[in-house]
C-alpha cells in the first residue's frame, strides 16, 4: 500500500470513529481497528491523536483545492466555482455528521479548540482568501479580506450548512444549492461595492 493511500485510509477511519464516538470517545485503538492496521503503523503515520485529528479537520473542512486554473476565466467566475466546489464538499452527509460530532465536543475540549484556532491562524493556506482577493482587485475594490470572507461564506454556504445541522437527512437539491451559491456571490459583490470598509467600526463585523 502506498503511503498516500495508507494515510487516506487512516483519515477515513478516524472520521468514522469521530462520527460514532465523538472526540472524547475516539482513541487510537479504535482508529487502528477501524482501518485494519496495527497501532505501530498508525503511530508511524500519525505520532499522536492530536496530529491525527488536526489532519482530519484540516483536510475535511479547511483546505479545498481551487477547481479552476488561476489563468482561466474571470476572478468572479473562479470565486463562484470555488464556493460551489466547497459547498459540494461540506454539505455531504458524512461531512455534516462529522462536523456535528466535532462541534458537540468543541464546547468541552480545549484540544479541539486549539486545533481549530491553529487552522484559522494558517489562513494564508485558505484558497477562498486568494480568490476573493483576486476578485476584489479585479473589480477595483478595497475591503478587509478576512471579514469579507466570513460574510461571503455566510451568504453562500453558511445557511445551507446550518439547515443540514438542524434537519439531517433532508439535503437540498444540488441544483438549488448551486443556484443559491451563485446568487449569494452576486449579492455579496453588489453589497461589497456599497460598503465603505474604512468607516466600519471594529465591532461591525466578526473578526
CATH of 63-199, one of 1.10.357.10, 3.40.50.2300, 3.30.460.10, 1.10.1740.10: 1.10.357.10
Q: If you search the block for the grid coordinates 472526540, which residue do you land on?
A: 23
Parts of the chain with a pLDDT under 70: 1, 66-68, 70, 121-126, 169-171, 202-207
For the beta carbon of residue 60, count every other beta carbon within 10 angstroms.
Answer: 22
* Angstrom distance (rounded) from CA 155 to CA 139: 19
pLDDT at 206: 44
Domain boundaries, the chain: 1-60, 63-199
**195: phi then psi, degrees, rounded to nearest 5:** -100, 135
Q: What is the pLDDT of residue 118?
A: 79
Residue 123 pLDDT = 54
Residue 15 pLDDT: 95
How far, in Å, CA of 193 to CA of 101, rounded?
38
73, 74, 75, 81 alpha-carbon torsion, rounded to 10°: -50
User: What is the reported pTM?
Assistant: 0.77
- CATH class of residue range 1-60: mainly alpha
For position 28, what pLDDT does the model report?
96
**Residue 159: predicted pLDDT:** 86
Indicate the burial class of 2 (C-beta count within 10 angstroms; 0-12, 13-18, 19 or more).
exposed
Please state, in angstroms and rounded to a whole number, the distance separating the CA atoms of residues 127 and 130.
Answer: 5
Same fold for the pair 1-60 and 63-199: no
What lies within 8 Å, CB to CB, of 186 at 6+ separation is none
Amino acid at each position: 500500500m502506498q503511503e498516500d493511500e495508507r494515510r487516506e485510509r487512516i483519515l477515513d477511519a478516524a472520521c468514522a470513529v469521530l462520527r460514532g464516538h465523538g472526540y472524547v470517545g475516539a482513541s487510537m485503538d479504535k482508529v487502528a481497528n477501524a482501518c485494519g492496521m496495527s497501532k505501530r503503523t498508525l503511530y508511524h503515520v500519525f505520532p499522536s491523536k492530536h496530529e491525527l485529528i488536526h489532519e482530519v479537520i484540516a483536510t475535511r473542512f479547511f483546505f479545498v483545492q481551487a477547481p479552476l486554473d488561476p489563468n482561466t476565466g474571470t476572478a468572479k467566475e473562479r470565486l463562484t466555482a470555488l464556493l460551489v466546489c466547497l459547498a459540494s464538499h461540506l454539505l455531504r452527509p458524512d461531512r455534516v455528521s462529522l462536523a456535528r460530532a466535532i462541534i458537540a465536543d468543541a464546547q468541552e475540549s480545549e484540544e479541539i479548540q486549539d486545533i481549530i484556532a491553529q487552522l484559522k491562524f494558517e489562513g494564508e493556506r485558505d484558497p477562498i482568501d486568494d480568490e476573493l482577493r483576486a476578485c476584489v482587485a479585479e473589480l477595483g475594490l478595497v475591503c478587509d479580506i478576512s471579514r469579507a470572507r466570513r460574510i461571503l461564506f455566510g451568504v453562500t454556504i453558511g445557511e445551507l450548512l446550518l439547515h443540514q445541522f438542524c434537519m439531517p437527512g433532508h439535503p437540498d437539491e444540488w441544483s438549488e444549492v448551486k443556484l443559491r451559491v451563485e446568487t449569494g456571490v452576486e449579492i455579496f459583490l453588489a453589497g461589497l461595492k456599497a460598503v465603505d470598509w474604512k468607516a466600519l467600526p471594529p465591532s461591525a463585523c466578526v473578526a
